[in-house]
Amino acid sequence: MYPTSAEAIAIGQALTACLSSEGFGAPCSSNGPTPYLESVPTPPDAGLKGLSTCSGVEDAYCYAGNDGEYRVQFELEGDNRALGLEKGLNCATEDGLRSGVCSSLSNAQ
User: Residue 107: its pLDDT value, please?
Assistant: 54
Cα gap 42→61, rounded to integer Å: 7
pLDDT of the residue at 109: 41
**Comparing C-alpha atoms, which of 8, 76, 68, 27 is closest to residue 47?**
76
Q: What's phi and psi for 56, nearest 5 deg?
A: 75, 15
pTM passes above 0.75: yes
**Other C-beta atoms within 10 Å of 92: how many?**
17
User: Over its length of 109 residues, how does the chain's per-residue pLDDT go in tens digits?
Assistant: 899 998 999 999 999 999 999 999 999 999 989 999 999 999 998 889 999 999 999 999 999 999 899 999 999 999 999 999 999 999 999 999 999 999 987 754 4
105 and 66 Cβ atoms separated by less than 8 Å: yes
3-state secondary structure at position 87: coil
11, 20 Cβ separation under 8 angstroms: no
